Amino acid sequence: MPIYQYNCSDCAKKVDVFFRSVASAQNGTAKCPECGGTKLDRVMSTFARRKTTMQRLEDVDHVRDAAALQSNDPGSFAEWAKRTGKDWDEELGTNWEELAERVEAGEDPAERIDADYTFRYHVEEKKFQLEQAALGGGPANDDPFAEYFDRPATTP
Ligand SMILES: [Zn+2]
């Protein structure tokens, strides 16, 4: 039975919410056990928060992404772009969230066609940058050993 932690905007408490299954946790609406409110923000688990950018890059599921992107359905693209933009726009310098908004507004941006390729490219480029930084090259914008040491992330 998965338990997720949320911040409730109604009663301003950090609460644990139980779900019957992972699927119901993903699809269902979380309800605050304290006040019954539904304005809940998922709190990232300690494990997820401590993952390095490199680990998150390694975890990108390109197969799943390709499935969403090759469906040729603007709705699937918007859903993908919104999620991916939230996770990556800031770090990769991409504009997926903006594209998602344009698609939702009825546009069909040309970028949608090669979004899969573009995303892979940015992911690989970022991995390369991090590897270089880890080798003592360019600016260290991520700490590849953060998972082993409890220290504040270095600022570039
Ligand atoms: Zn509440």
Tell how far the Cα of 97 is from the centroid of ligand 1, in angstroms: 29
Confidence of residue 47 (pLDDT cuts 50, 70, 90): low
Tell how far the Cα of 7 is from the centroid of ligand 1, in angstroms: 8
Q: What is the pLDDT of residue 136?
A: 72
Tell how far the Cα of 40 is from the centroid of ligand 1, in angstroms: 8
Please give the Cα distance from 63 to 69 (Å, whole number): 10
Confidence of residue 119 (pLDDT cuts 50, 70, 90): very high
Q: What is the pTM of this model?
A: 0.55
Tell how far the Cα of 30 is from the centroid of ligand 1, in angstroms: 11
Q: What is the pLDDT of residue 137?
A: 57
Tell how far the Cα of 13 is from the centroid of ligand 1, in angstroms: 6
Per-residue model confidence as pLDDT tens digits over 49-76: 557 788 889 989 888 888 888 877 889 9
Angle ∠(74,76,78) on CA atoms, nearest 5: 65
- Alpha-carbon 98 to chain mean position: 15
Tell how far the Cα of 27 is from the centroid of ligand 1, in angstroms: 20
